[in-house]
Structure 1
Amino acid sequence: MNQLLYSLSKTTVCISLLLLLHPLAGGATTPSPQIVSFEKGFTQLFGGDSNLLRSDDDNTVHLHLNQYTGAGFRSSDMYNHGIFSAKIKLPSDYTAGIVVAFYTSNGDVFEKTHDELDFEFLGNIKGKPWRFQTNLYGNGSTSRGREERYTLWFDPSKAYHRYTIFWTSSKIIFYIDDVPIREILRNDEMGSDFPSKPMALYATIWDASNWATNGGKYKVNYKYAPFVTEMTDLVVHGCVSNPIQELLNDNCAQMDKQLETLHFNTITPKQKTAMKRFRERYMYYSYCYDTLRYPIPPPECVIDLALRQRFKETGRLKFERRHRRHTKKGSQILSSQVYEIQDQD
């Protein structure tokens, strides 16, 4: 991860992001993604005025969870492919049982055949790191979930970090800041399991005590409430679509081509190295290596034989305790304590 990012101001990060998102096609006059205010792009789902608080400039939203309710919002429109992004800061201290979700879905329209792309952040007991998972569903394929779980190389409660879902007709890429952490390339064998219908962007915080932390062993402790997650500088960019349309219209087909000219569509060699390093160090579950669930890996899986040896047949990382010298440089890397949680949930 480029350490320079940590020293940049909020304004500089926003400018840099918009430059990154600007189309790369020479001479093209295509609309570039822009930060969208809450009033212009979103609507409240639940929580009431006391649990969803908006900043004066309408670019930041605070979502609260207390003993009465959580909070959530969604984009006003649905999009057939696009970029969905926000800078997020998670609650700190004791966060067991909490889930903060940033995802796209059309479940409100297609109850039995919905599509979904997820970032789900899973809280933990005090002193243990946040974990998170990514997932995708296509055409209601909930029995064929494609979960991956990870830890992070930073404390997500200390500062904002940008989380991005990039979705086109041919690929899906999940980013954290400028690091791609997961890429799914569409192929014919996936069929309708690849999300293809218009989706809205959602963001929520809620009580998932029954499963989120160690299979429900640790519940939300409202002694520490309210739990607050902050989201700012939201970006939604794609073709606004009628969810019941079966075919892309000409405008959406053109937008899909435009998305393929953007920075996020091409992973550079440096980013490929960063993604590989992330997945080697911080991924502790992958459905692709879960041979109990999938004796034959799903068709989009690219099996890394060296990485495969590190996983059990359950798809979970084999427990290992790493020893490092306590150098200044080494202290900047997440230590082996993250492995202590891997066999607990």
Structure 2
Amino acid sequence: MVCLTPAAAALLLLVVVLAAAVSALPAINVTTMAFEDGYAPLFGHGNILRSADHRTVSLLLDRSTGSGFISSSMYQHGFFSASIKLPSDYTAGVVVAFYASNGDVFEKRHDELDFEFLGNIRGKPWRVQTNVYGNGSVGRGREERYVLPFDPTTEFHRYSILWTPAAVAFYVDDVPVREVRQSAAMGGDFPSKPMSVYATVWDASTWATAGGRYRVNYRYGPFVASFTDLALLGCRVDGPIQQTTAERCAAAAEALRASDVAVMTVEKQQAMRRFRERNMVYSYCYDTLRYPAAFPECDVVESERRRFKDTGHLRFALRRRMSPRRSHGRAASRDRVRELKKRAADM
């Protein structure tokens, strides 16, 4: 039996309490679906590979095309979620996106909620960008960018978008990383019209990595992004969108707003603050060169503002939290594609 001094016992108790606080957030439990129960191919059909049970979908980007899929219905508010594993090795210029949009229906006044995963040169981490557009407000992009506290290429991690009449929230695994609350000051900039859900992988060489300095190098392709644990929760809107949509979906929206995933508890707020302090590397709220007047939803924190340049970028780069990617990633990517194609052929 080990006897602890009072000081050591107090320290051990503190460690236990802190560990409990870190793991205090409940897991997000939602019903997942097979691909065809909620989605359909969008483009690059030959580069979309499904697992034998149709619950995992891999999107490929090669020299010929990227690929993507779209939800079979539009949704008036909802919770949209997928576990994603990103391409490894040299991924400069590659963008993987999981997002909600109605750009195909409302071309000049569309809404959009984005997770954009921005590839990088070998040895540099993937960066994750979130964005919120409302009513065609593309000239007022609300980008925030983060590095992740894990390697998103080695295993699946869940990324979720929550959209209610009151707020938009982005989750990484069970942790909220960003919340934008609706307000009268935001006006039409807050998304309000039914949206479809998309997943895509594509060549964004002109801007994605160092402003286009590093382009996609197809010698490292094909680039494979895999999606599983697909979840779509919300009021489905099928057929022509009518003025009664909001009224018909009001009850479902209120139920979603009151659900466990939507209630921003103190524990969630604390976890979100920790994530942002440790991982956020750009925020439009601190980009005074681009936006001299602060956005109404921005809660500018002076201690946080001092950490960012007037361009909105973090003054000091975050330390790398994962081991460097290895040069065998190209061969591993090709082996993974061969295995996925073999599984598809055996169906």
TM-score, with normalisation over the residues of structure 1?
0.83
1: CA distance, partners of 2:220 / 2:63: 10
Q: Specify the alignment match of 1:175 in structure 2.
A: 171
1:112 maps to which of 88, 108, 130: 108
1:57 maps to which of 53, 57, 65: 53
2: CA distance, partners of 1:219 / 1:320: 22
2:233 maps to which of 227, 233, 237: 237
2: CA distance, partners of 1:245 / 1:311: 44
**CA-atom RMSD, angstroms?**
2.1
Q: Specify the alignment match of 2:328 in structure 1.
A: none
- Count of paired positions: 301
- 1:90 maps onto 2:77 in alignment: no
TM-score, with normalisation over the residues of structure 2?
0.83
1:119-158 → structure 2 map (5 Å cutoff): 119-158=115-154
What are the Cα deviations for residues 223-250 of structure 1, in whole angstroms up to 9, with x where unaligned? 1111100000100111112563234354
Q: Is the 8 A contact 2:70 2:199 kept in 1?
A: yes
- 1:251 to partner: Cα distance: 3.7
What are the Cα deviations for residues 196-216 of structure 1, in whole angstroms up to 9, with x where unaligned? 000000000001111100011
1: CA distance, partners of 2:317 / 2:51: 44
Amino acid in structure 1 at the alignment position of 2:225 = T
Q: Specify the alignment match of 2:72 in structure 1.
A: 76
Q: Is the 8 A contact 2:102 2:196 kept in 1?
A: yes
Amino acid in structure 1 at the alignment position of 2:321 = L
Q: Is the 8 A contact 2:166 2:257 kept in 1?
A: no
1:288 maps to which of 279, 285, 290: 285
- 1:313 maps onto 2:310 in alignment: yes
SS at match of 2:267: helix
2:295 maps to which of 287, 298, 314: 298
- 1:272 to partner: Cα distance: 1.6
2: CA distance, partners of 1:267 / 1:116: 22
SS at match of 1:210: coil
Q: Is the 8 A contact 2:61 2:201 kept in 1?
A: yes
SS at match of 1:288: helix
Amino acid in structure 1 at the alignment position of 2:130 = T
Q: Specify the alignment match of 2:260 in structure 1.
A: 263
Q: Specify the alignment match of 1:327 in structure 2.
A: none
1:203-242 → structure 2 map (5 Å cutoff): 203-242=199-238
2: CA distance, partners of 1:270 / 1:195: 26
What are the Cα deviations for residues 17-52 of structure 1, in whole angstroms up to 9, with x where unaligned? 6xx44xxxxxxxxxxx52121111111111123x10
- 1:116 to partner: Cα distance: 0.1
Q: Is the 8 A contact 2:76 2:246 kept in 1?
A: no
SS at match of 1:306: helix
1: CA distance, partners of 2:318 / 2:267: 29
Q: Specify the alignment match of 2:335 in structure 1.
A: none
Distance 1:128 1:187, change over 3 A: same
Q: Specify the alignment match of 1:334 in structure 2.
A: 321
2: CA distance, partners of 1:42 / 1:289: 37
SS at match of 1:107: coil
Amino acid in structure 2 at the alignment position of 1:289 = Y
Amino acid in structure 1 at the alignment position of 2:208 = A
2: CA distance, partners of 1:118 / 1:249: 22
Distance 1:105 1:273, change over 3 A: same
- 1:40 maps onto 2:27 in alignment: no
1: CA distance, partners of 2:317 / 2:103: 39
Runs of 4+ in 1 over 3 A off after TM superposition: 247-251
